[in-house]
């Protein structure tokens, strides 16, 4: 097999004539089962493995019984506790994976947790067995994080194989949690569902709980955020909006956008960004949203995402999700009073707004996209669009500079766990023969080396897969420093964040506009629609919420704003058909719904009592202008 890094032979002592030849390759963990002359091979993909941990036996308490080997318990290696069993020379390597499992009764797939236990007892000393387990551990860690494997692993020399061996960027993650997001269960979900996975992946973090509106925004704006390697938000799309705009309120915004990616754990009502990221990866998000999103954060592949620069008469904002006017925006803002019921608030208020249907008068200009089929990232053309002098004071700026930090505008306040999933290849369980396990995820596998295969230079034993993983505890969490719920004063440069004053002198930086100023005429080649509208809604993600597939053809960085327009004259029956189709994307078959791919637009509503929203946050009602900023942000993905 090409690319084999490590290989070993293991046995299941409860099954005679059954041998597992385990190979670790660059693609994954290959398990070749040889039993009674038949051979079956299953592979666990590297991308499905989140981490591994070296263990040793725990001293038994009370009477023990040799006829119950399944009663074996383990503790963390180098834990320093007095519970270690010095009579057992075995070293155990636990490998944690989340693999895809298909279901015959219910169509579809989901990710489920699987634990593979490799028991190393080939040598007659515990230290030698543990060293072999550490070789495998370090190799797995390097492969899962995309880092080169040290020579000490490949050559089996005396190099550093300690658990503290650095693999890539070891900085902690910054976690900002909004305890009031959605139904208010973000803190509980994080502790019960996210922390165990981060512990398995050996990812350290610092947790800060938001205390007031704009806490996350001001935290990102004022603190030394480069001490962390990424920002994870736990909540809904509102806290994502705060964090991204806080980044652009820094003078070093270019470095921030280049170096720090944003990850999302969905605990809000809408969760449009989290669903869009998983949808792009074709992950089974709906089965377990928190798990799927946490796996994205663990893998932490940085992928570009389009942002949209939004300008109103009083402020400049950077949007990652949508700009809305009319029907959907009314539902979003007016349903806030039903926040306690979670995402169902949108359904309830949709019925109310459908009964009391409103129309709005206004003008909509837009610049059509010329590459909606190619899906290539676009940048606004200087030859096509006129630069706004009011937001670009540096007239000597060179054209090849992609995002000059010259745009300044005063900013006003914005008002803005034990479930398992699985993706990957099928694996084998100790309780199933491989023939019956094909196409199924393997729950636990306990393999051991066998001393009958001793060589003159290496007295051997054997290793492999163990216990009931679905019911197993997360061995690494108790007393682990990866569960870091810290006080804000315990970290340098992170003293508490004061609430933002209404007239705070905060400036918005970021790439300057390539469009005419908001109060100047639009270019003559822009298209115009005017009259009465039921709604105008622009999106740059596939989903506005976890069950709202708004722009099915959208990509995270396709260089397109998907502008949906519904004019007056639509019947309530047609609008109901539109709403019912939002969950599957069939709303675009409604004859009154017009989806237009654009790169910029300007909306001028006539005075009324409606709502304008940016990423679900209400903004000043009046003229608004938006332009695409391709690939400006980075998000965490698999």
CA distance 180 to 177: 9
Q: Which two tokens stand for residue 62?
A: 């009370």
DSSP 8-state assignment for residue 192: I
H helices present in 223-360, as ranges: 237-247, 253-259, 272-281, 289-299, 327-334, 344-355
Phi, psi of 341 (to 5 degrees): -95, 5
Q: Which residues contact 306 (CB under 8 A, 6 or more apart)?
A: 377, 540, 556, 557, 558, 559, 560, 628, 629, 630, 631, 632, 633
CA distance 263 to 176: 10
8 Å CB contact between 197 and 294:
yes
- Helix-helix angle 237-247:215-222, to 10 degrees: 30
8 Å CB contact between 163 and 220:
no
Q: Which two tokens stand for residue 277?
A: 């990221």
Q: What angle do CA 242, 635, 265 make, to 5 degrees?
A: 65
Helix, strand, coil shares of the chain as percentages rounded to 5?
A: 25, 30, 45
CA distance 327 to 545: 15
CA distance 185 to 343: 13
CA distance 370 to 517: 23
Distance of CA 149 to the CA centre of its chain: 26
Q: Which two tokens stand for residue 587?
A: 């709303």
Per-residue burial over 331-355, b if 16 or more Cβ lie within 10 Å, else e, is bbbebeeebeebbebbeebbeebbe
Which among 204, 163, 189 has a CA at the least distance from the CA of 484?
204
8 Å CB contact between 292 and 282:
no
- Tokens 């909540």 sit on residue: 235
Per-residue burial over 586-621, b if 16 or more Cβ lie within 10 Å, else e, is ebbebebbebbbbbbbbbbbeeeebbbbbbbbbbeb
- Strands 261-266 and 38-45: what pairing? unpaired
Return the C-alpha torsion angle 438, 463, 137, 193, nearest 10.
60
CA distance 116 to 399: 55
SS3 string, 140-162, reads HHHHHCCCCCCHHHHCCCCCCCC
Helix, coil or strand: residue 587: helix
Computed on alpha carbons and rounded to an integer, the radius of gyration of the chain in Å comes to 28
Residues marked as catalytic: 237
Q: Which residues contact 563 (CB under 8 A, 6 or more apart)?
A: 366, 536, 537, 538, 595, 596, 597, 598, 601
- Strands 409-410 and 624-637: what pairing? unpaired
């Amino acid at each position: 097999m090409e690319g084999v890094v490590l290989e070993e032979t293991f046995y299941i002592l409860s099954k005679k004539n059954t041998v597992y030849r385990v190979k670790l390759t660059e693609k994954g963990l290959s398990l070749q089962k040889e039993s009674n002359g038949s051979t079956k091979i299953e592979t666990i993909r590297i991308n499905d493995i989140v981490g591994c941990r070296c263990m040793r036996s725990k001293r038994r308490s009370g009477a023990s019984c040799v006829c119950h080997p399944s009663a074996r318990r383990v503790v963390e290696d180098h834990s320093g506790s007095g519970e270690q069993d010095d009579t057992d020379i075995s070293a155990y390597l636990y490998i944690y994976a989340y693999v895809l499992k298909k279901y015959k009764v219910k169509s579809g797939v989901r990710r489920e947790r699987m634990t593979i236990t490799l028991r190393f007892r080939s040598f007659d000393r515990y230290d030698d067995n543990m060293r072999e387990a550490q070789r495998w551990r370090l190799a797995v860690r390097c492969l899962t994080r995309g880092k080169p494997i040290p020579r000490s692993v490949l050559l089996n020399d005396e190099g550093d194989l300690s658990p503290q061996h650095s693999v890539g960027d070891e900085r902690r993650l910054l976690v900002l949690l909004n305890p009031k997001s959605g139904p208010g269960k973000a803190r509980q979900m994080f502790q019960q569902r996210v922390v165990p996975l981060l512990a398995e992946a050996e990812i350290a973090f610092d947790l800060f709980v938001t205390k007031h509106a704009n806490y996350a925004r001001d935290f990102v704006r004022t603190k030394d955020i480069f001490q962390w390697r990424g920002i994870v938000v736990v909540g809904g799309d509102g806290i994502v909006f705060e964090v991204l705009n806080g980044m652009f309120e820094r003078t070093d915004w270019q470095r921030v956008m280049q170096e720090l990616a944003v990850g999302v754990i969905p605990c809000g009502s809408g969760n449009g960004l989290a669903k869009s990221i998983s949808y792009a990866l074709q992950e089974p998000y709906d089965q377990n949203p928190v798990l799927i999103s946490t796996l994205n954060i663990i893998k932490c592949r940085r992928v570009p995402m389009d942002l949209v620069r939004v300008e109103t008469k009083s402020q400049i904002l950077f949007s990652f999700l949508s700009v809305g006017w009319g029907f959907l925006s009314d539902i979003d803002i007016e349903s806030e009073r039903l926040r306690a019921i979670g995402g169902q608030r949108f359904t309830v208020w949709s019925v109310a707004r459908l009964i009391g249907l409103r129309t709005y008068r206004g003008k909509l200009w837009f610049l059509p996209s010329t590459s909606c089929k190619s899906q290539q990232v676009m940048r606004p053309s200087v030859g096509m669009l006129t630069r706004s002098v009011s937001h670009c004071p540096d007239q000597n700026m060179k054209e090849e500079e992609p995002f000059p930090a010259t745009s300044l505008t005063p900013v006003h306040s914005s008002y803005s766990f034990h479930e398992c999933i699985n993706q990957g290849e099928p694996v084998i369980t100790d309780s199933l023969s491989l023939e019956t396990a094909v196409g199924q995820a393997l729950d636990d596998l306990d393999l051991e080396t066998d001393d009958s295969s001793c060589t003159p230079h290496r007295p051997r034993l054997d290793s492999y897969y163990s216990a009931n993983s679905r019911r197993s505890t997360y061995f690494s969490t108790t007393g682990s420093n990866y569960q870091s719920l810290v006080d804000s004063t315990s970290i340098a440069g992170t003293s508490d964040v004061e609430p933002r004053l209404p007239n705070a002198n905060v400036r918005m930086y970021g790439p300057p506009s390539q469009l005419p100023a908001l109060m100047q005429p639009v270019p003559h080649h822009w298209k115009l629609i005017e009259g009465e509208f039921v709604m105008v809604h622009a999106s740059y993600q596939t989903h506005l919420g976890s069950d709202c597939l708004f722009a099915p053809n959208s990509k995270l960085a396709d260089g397109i704003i998907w502008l949906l327009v519904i004019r007056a004259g639509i019947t309530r029956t047609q609008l109901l058909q539109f709403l019912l189709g939002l969950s599957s994307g069939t709303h675009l078959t409604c004859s009154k719904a017009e989806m237009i791919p654009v790169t910029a637009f300007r909306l001028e509503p006539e005075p009324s009592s409606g709502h304008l929203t940016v990423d679900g946050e209400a903004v000043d009602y009046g003229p608004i202008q938006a332009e695409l900023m391709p690939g400006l942000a980075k998000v965490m993905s698999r």
